[in-house]
Amino acid sequence: MSFKTILRLGRVSNLPTVWSNALAGAVLAAGLPTASWPILAAAFALTLFYLGGMWLNDAFDAEIDRAERKERPIPAEEIGRGTVFAVGWALLAGGVAVGFLLGPSAGLAAAGVALAVTLYDWLHKKTPLSPLIMGTTRLLSYVLAALAVGHLPAVVLAAGAGLFAYVVGLTYAARREASNDLGGIWPLAALAIPLVFAAALAGGDPLALALCGALLLTVVAAIWRLVRRGPGDVPRAVVTLIAGISLYDAALIAAAGLPILAFIAAMGFALTLALQRLAPGT
């Protein structure tokens, strides 16, 4: 098992969006943090959940990948399916443990993330409702980060609902990646919900509005690729939408009046796209 195989199994290029989720959830809950360690711990737990979910995704999909995605590590015989299952479960268990170290409420939220991740990996090829499960994992990411700093105000749940809608839309597109055929376009309307929420929360803040504009351009560019459906357009659009998660996080943080932290979150967009050369994000 090579280091490159480990990176590919974990889809590590998408991790910056997980870290920006942790930052946004904490900022929305408590404003400027007085201590960084709960946010770092939440980000670490979410990292374990993301990596574990990606490993389990390949383990559950191994038979399908042997027919449709033979280049993936398990069908390419770079690693055994049993090993991938074992590592995936261990990563999820680690994430739950870190959650409980942050407190009982954060621990329960962490357990919810682990459950949602498991359900998605198990069922995503079996039910059209799988985008809703994936959206739930990101909503709960906000909840976990908020509870890590000791608060869960309504704004976190509202912002999480916006993130839920965004991820539902992009997951719908991702489900069609292997065929490079989008099908109906109407589920992509969910991508507009976080734009409306972020713009409303921004008020007149110039940076927050600029980040909303950047997210809008990102969504429009991705939808253009999805509608055009040229060779490779669907996977490129999906990666762009995944990176856009960090722009949503950044807009919310800017609206909270923390421009430096908003800039850090926005860097997740560029970093996610740049890391695609290291390990594909889909």
CATH code for position 139: 1.10.357.140
Using alpha carbons, select from 76, 276, 241, 255 the residue that is nearest to residue 170.
241
Tell me the residue range of the domain where 259 lies.
3-277
**Which residue matches tokens 């199994």?**
9
Q: How far apart are CA 7 and CA 79, in angstroms?
A: 13
Would you state the pLDDT for residue 138? Answer: 97
* pTM > 0.85: yes
Does residue 223 contact residue 170 with C-beta atoms inside 8 Å? no
Q: Is residue 81 part of a domain?
A: yes
> How many whole angstroms separate alpha carbon 118 and alpha carbon 271?
27
Residue 211's pLDDT band, with cuts at 50, 70 and 90, is: very high
Does residue 219 lie within any of the structural domains?
Answer: yes
The verdict on residue 237 lying in a domain is: yes
Please give the Cα distance from 98 to 191 (Å, whole number). Answer: 31
CA 52 from centre of chain: 13
AA identity, residue 71: E
**Long-range contacts of range 219-223, CB-CB < 8 Å, 24 or more positions apart?**
219/191, 219/192, 219/195, 219/244, 222/173, 223/185, 223/188, 223/191
Is residue 282 in a domain? no
- Please answer whether residues 120 and 129 qualify as being in contact, where contact means their C-beta atoms are separated by less than 8 angstroms: no
Residue 186 — very low, low, confident or very high, per pLDDT cuts 50/70/90? low
Q: What does the pLDDT read at residue 149?
A: 93
Residue 281's pLDDT band, with cuts at 50, 70 and 90, is: confident
Alpha helices in the chain (DSSP H): 3-10, 15-30, 37-60, 62-68, 81-101, 104-123, 130-148, 154-175, 192-202, 206-228, 233-255, 259-274
What's residue 152's pLDDT?
95
Q: How confident is the model over 72-110, as pLDDT tens digits?
A: 889 888 999 999 999 999 999 999 999 999 999 999 999
- Give the whole-angstrom CA distance, residue 72 versus residue 279: 12
- Of 89, 94, 137, nearest to 116 by C-alpha is 137
Q: Is residue 181 part of a domain?
A: yes
Answer yes or no: is 234 within a domain.
Answer: yes
Q: How many domains does the chain have?
A: 1
Whole-Å CA distances, 204 to 24, 167, 193, 198, 209: 19, 26, 19, 12, 7
**190: in domain:** yes
Three-class DSSP category at 275: helix
Q: Confirm if 1 and 117 have CB atoms less than 8 A apart.
A: no
- Structural domain contains residue 251: yes
